[in-house]
Amino acid sequence: MLGLTPGLTLADARARIPHLVAVDMDRAADAALLARLADWCDRYTPLVTVEEPDGLVLDITGCVHLFAGEAGLRRTVMQGLARGGLTVRGSVAGTPQAAAALARFGRKALGRHDIVPPGEEEMAVRPLPAAALGVSPEVLLALTRAGLKTVGDLAERPRAPLATRFGADLPVRLARILGQEDIGISPRRPLPPCLVERRFAEPVAREEDIDAALAGLAHRAGRILAERGEGGRRFEAAFFRADGRVTRLAVATGRPARDAAVVMRLFRERLAALADPLDPGFGFDLLRLAVTACEPLGESQVSLDGRTVEDEEVAALVDRLGARFGAAAVLRPAFVDTHIPERAVRMVPAALDDDGTAPPCGWPVERPADPPARPVHLFDPPQPIEALAEVPDGPPLRFRWRRVLHEIARAEGPERIAPEWWRDEAGEEPTRDYYRVEDARGRRFWVFRQGLFGEAPAPRWFLHGIFA
């Protein structure tokens, strides 16, 4: 209407409109706004992706019945965005590429193609310009010089010559925009294994109502998981405000769970620990509970010694502490597959990692009749000792530690541990020979000789741990 088009220089634009207001482009702010709009669109479908710089693609498969069909859903989304002061255009088609092309390049005369019936994508997109394919400017210029100005012009040409002249990507884009190939979208958030939600005719703002609605969703999710024989390891609650803001809270469990009481206790702990309390604003019109990580969970049976009850109580304590202080604050030791003793253990979150998976912690299993190969308690760093051996490469006969002399009655070893060659510092670490020794009073120690005779520096003895 004003004669302004994308790519027009600022001088030409002000020549046409003298009082034109110009501001610098803020790409970061534009991206942040687009991300907020994508969060807002999550209320209509969990499958939303961002098409930069100014587009959103929604996969509405299986969602249209909630809005009286595709036309009702499109109208609801368009009206909601328009109320936010945005100028939007939207189309519904069988493939994401066809819908995006119609929304970006369709003319008003093509209003009948705002919703494309199944199988009619080709007829709807044929009048669109070749730029609707999303090719590079160089390829677009070459198409224009060849007289291929519309999608219909390209659709009438054999695909093999097009690929030879304009690149193998062109026939692929053409097939997708014509509806002949559908690859779907890559959503911003992966579709969870279990998802339940509740919509409100009027926004709710009272804490009691929000708590009751969330508890109802936890019961529904628990029933679904019970039917599958599964339990959740990570739960995420999404609170959709009437003004478009979305708040998400996640809790994790140390073992699979589907009891609504357990899940709600974790969410209440999480809400109580928030530095900024949950602000309902004008109220929430949608609550959604997603189980983003699931594992098999059968019916538990308590043993006669009560071990199952103890394990469940420990897991519940870990879950509550993690919900209040954060998963990173509650740690447990995990085994690392290495022969270097001080590197064989690392601390990991007791519940879940950020990606929703449990950290590995498989400890090596020893036979009950065998004595422990290594002590539970290690000194960090190893304690230097003065040792006397009968032969240079043999076990110590006696050693002095903290001014106390220990006469060795029994010794077992050596267990030679060489440095890990793939580490950068491997050349600086000397070889170790470990011995399990027992003194005359029955106390057992784990000592090692660092270095080899005939090499510099001279070997030294250290005490690394004490057997209980």
Contacts (Cβ under 8 Å, ≥6 apart) of 421: none
Residue 152 burial (CB count, 10 A): 16
Q: Going residue by residue through the chain (468 aa), what tens digit of pLDDT does each one get?
A: 677 887 888 888 888 888 888 888 898 999 999 999 999 999 999 899 999 888 999 999 888 888 888 999 999 999 999 988 898 889 999 899 999 999 988 865 444 568 888 888 889 999 999 999 989 989 999 999 999 999 999 999 999 999 999 989 999 999 999 988 888 888 888 889 999 999 998 999 999 999 999 999 999 999 999 999 999 989 999 999 988 889 999 998 878 889 999 899 989 988 888 878 888 889 999 999 999 999 888 665 555 555 555 566 777 777 778 777 777 788 888 888 888 888 888 888 876 544 444 555 566 777 776 778 888 889 989 999 999 998 888 999 999 999 999 999 999 989 999 888 877 665 677 889 999 999 999 999 999 999 888 777 889 999 999 997
Cα(150)–Cα(133) distance, rounded to whole angstroms? 10
**468 contacts: CB under 8 Å, gap ≥ 6:** 375, 376, 377
Assess contact for 100 and 118: CB atoms under 8 A: no
Helix (H) or strand (E) holding 324, with range, is helix 307-325
Q: Are 47 and 191 in contact (CB under 8 A)?
A: yes
Span 194-299 CATH architecture: 2-Layer Sandwich (3.30)
Closest CA to 417 of 426, 409, 408, 425: 426
Which residues in 242-343 belong to E strands, given as ranges?
246-257, 284-296, 331-335
423: helix, strand or coil: coil
Tell me which residue of 295, 409, 289 sits closest to 352, measured CA to CA: 295
Per DSSP, the three-state class of 334 is strand
Return residue ranges of the chain for CATH 3.30.1490.100: 194-299
Inter-residue long-range contacts of 138-146, CB under 8 Å, 24+ positions, other chains counted:
139/166, 139/167, 139/170, 142/166
